[in-house]
């Protein structure tokens, strides 16, 4: 336990997922696919991240990696085994790997990802025999987490349609 972080009573899973959703909304405002993540330690949100692939022009700029990076810096080490992540969308293979490598204790997931999810949808990294298996909890604020994605893609389609109509 880090000495400068005084433990507080854990809040509800919805409370922490709403914080992850705020990061996702920020991503949407920036024109990014809205995915957000926070890391919780001793009841505190110690780090957060959002998807920034487009503006950062980098395939590695996923919400989970940003949150893990900040959490390691905050705690001064790479082992996050007393930490839990709340992420609005099921992690991709890269982020699922990072969650295993950082020894994350538990991962709370909002929406499943049928296109890239690696904790059950496309594959389940926890069945592959790695030496660390984060505990996975699906369905925290699932509607809100999938809703923000649906809304984003609907907006994208509408803007494309408007553009087409304007060009005709
Ligand atoms: Zn990812």
pLDDT tens sequence across 13-35: 999 999 999 999 999 999 999 99
Given a cut of 90, is residue 38 above it in pLDDT? yes
Provide the annotated active-site residues. 64
Residue 60 Cα, ligand 1 centroid: separation in angstroms? 8
Q: How far is the CA of 159 from the centre of ligand 1 (A)?
A: 26
161 CA → ligand 1 middle, Å: 29
* Residues with a beta carbon under 5 angstroms from ion ligand 1: 62, 92, 94-95
Residue range 104-141, pLDDT digits in tens? 999 999 999 999 999 999 999 999 999 999 999 999 99
Average pLDDT, the chain: 96
Which pairs with CB-CB distance under 8 Å and at least 24 residues apart come from 118-125? 118/90, 118/91, 118/92, 118/93, 119/90, 119/91, 120/90, 121/90, 123/93, 125/93, 125/96, 125/97, 125/100
């Amino acid at each position: 336990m880090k000495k400068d972080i005084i433990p507080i009573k854990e809040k509800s899973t919805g409370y922490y997922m709403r914080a992850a959703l705020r990061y996702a909304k920020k991503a949407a405002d920036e024109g990014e696919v809205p995915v957000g993540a926070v890391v919780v330690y001793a009841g505190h949100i110690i780090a957060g991240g959002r998807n920034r692939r487009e503006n950062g022009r980098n395939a590695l700029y996923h919400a989970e990696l940003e949150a893990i990076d900040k959490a390691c810096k905050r705690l001064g080490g790479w082992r996050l085994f007393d930490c839990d992540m709340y992420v609005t969308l099921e992690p991709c293979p890269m982020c699922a790997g990072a969650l295993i490598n950082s020894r994350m204790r538990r991962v709370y997931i909002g929406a499943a990802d049928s296109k890239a999810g690696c904790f059950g949808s496309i594959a389940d990294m926890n069945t592959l025999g790695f030496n660390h298996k984060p505990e996975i909890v699906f369905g925290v604020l699932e509607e809100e987490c999938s809703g923000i994605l649906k809304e984003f893609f609907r907006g994208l389609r509408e803007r494309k349609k408007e553009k087409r109509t304007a060009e005709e």
